[in-house]
């Protein structure tokens, strides 16, 4: 297991990431590996348990979830603009 895997819970799922943010788990780091529309989101390892509830069908209020999706998409756009030459 790498140091990053031990330090963070990592996902590439936008909906899951928005759920984690909406339930109070702060985003710790983001990566955009290679070209294309992909981001890797890093949360504290304690977010792993909350992520499991997401996949079990846990509910979160719509407004905070929608806001988190909007913010993550805006972050993606800002990061791609700062990395010229990479295609979406």
Is the residue at 55 inside a domain? yes
Burial 29-65 (b: 16+ CB within 10 A, else e): eeebeeeeeebebbbeeebeebbeebeeeeebeeeeb
**CB-based contact 65:18 (threshold 8 Å):** yes
> How much is the pTM?
0.83
Instruction: State the total domains in the chain.
Output: 1
Q: At 81, is the pLDDT very low, low, confident or very high (cuts 50, 70, 90)? A: confident
Using CB atoms within 10 Å of the CB of residue 87, give its burial: 0 to 12 exposed, 13 to 18 middle, 19+ buried. Answer: exposed
Is the residue at 30 inside a domain? yes
More confident residue, 32 or 11: 11
User: What domain range includes position 65?
Assistant: 3-81
Q: Could you give the CA distance from residue 84 to residue 81 in angstroms, rounded to a whole number? A: 6
pLDDT tens digits, one per residue of 11-31: 999 999 999 999 999 999 998
Residues making up the chain, counted from first to last: 88
């Amino acid at each position: 297991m790498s140091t990053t895997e031990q330090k963070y819970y990592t996902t590439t799922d936008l909906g899951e990431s928005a759920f984690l943010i909406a339930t109070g788990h702060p985003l710790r780091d983001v990566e955009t590996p290679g070209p294309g529309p992909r981001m890797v989101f890093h949360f504290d390892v304690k977010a792993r348990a909350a992520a499991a509830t997401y996949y079990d069908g846990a509910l979160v209020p719509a407004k905070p979830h929608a806001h988190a999706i909007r913010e993550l998409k805006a972050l993606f756009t800002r990061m791609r603009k700062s990395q010229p030459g990479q295609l979406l």
